[in-house]
Amino acid sequence: MRLEVDILSKTFRSAAGETHAVLAPVKFALQSGEVGVLIGPSGCGKSTMLRIILGLDRDFEGHIARPPEARVGMVFQEPRLLPWRSVEQNVRLAAPAASDAKLAELFRILELEAHRSHFPGELSLGLARRVALARAFAVEPDVLVLDEPLASLDDALAGRLRDEIATLVASRPVTTLLVTHSLDDAARLGDRLFLLSRRPARILAEVPIDIPRETRSDAAIAAIKAGLARRAQDEQGGERAGRDVS
């Protein structure tokens, strides 16, 4: 399963009739089993890019390629659960063909076994995020898109949920694209990292991580994060210099 992204441009027209560029040329590809991470400043166009990749926005120049039969799982920034349905009903609505054994395993991994009959209003944000992950994995996706799934969680909870995401991603060959502001999330979960510019977003640098996720030590992760921070600072500094010259 291969995901190919080749966006030439994306613009929108304001109420005043002005045209604004959201995305500059962005091109990359991800293979089955690979986790790509998009890292960029707020408002640079990451969510717009995800909408294009998911097929929710077709008003752009370029093309997105994936096998037509590919199943897609999506975890949004907000859990987006139906409040009048229970945890299990929310998951089964997305994956009606999922077996009882499959759901039981997902609920076990995500520590949701005691919450299957609860409703979204009874859940903490962390639990609701777990339900959103269960819903995405229940469809057995070929392509998984995660839009800042750990945002606004405390460090301890984010760490536990990050480990659960890593376990789920390792459980089946899925092509994964993660959007995050966190260098820690990127260093722990990613195989290839894409540093994005300010709007209109373009790829400033592509950073591969050769150490397998399951063998990355704390020291290796700290080194990856330090290198990412330096790379981002250098690239953004060069970008500002280029704008000043122009």
DSSP letters spanning 24-50:
--EEEEE-TT-EEEEE--TTSSHHHHH
Task: Report how far apart the first and last C-alpha atoms of the chain are (Å, whole number).
Answer: 41
| Residue 188 CB-density burial (10 A; 0-12 exposed, 13-18 middle, 19+ buried) | buried
Indicate the pTM of the whole model. 0.86
What's the pLDDT tens digit per position in 77-94? 888 999 999 999 999 999
- Which amino acid, 127? L
What's the pLDDT tens digit per position in 161-194? 888 888 888 888 899 999 988 888 899 999 999 9
Its CATH class, for the domain covering 3-66+180-245, is alpha beta
- Low-confidence stretches of the chain (pLDDT beneath 70): 234-246
| Euclidean distance between CA atoms 62 and 24, whole angstroms | 11
H helical segments located in 95-217: 100-109, 125-138, 155-170, 183-189
3-state helix, strand, coil in the chain (%, to 5): 40, 25, 35
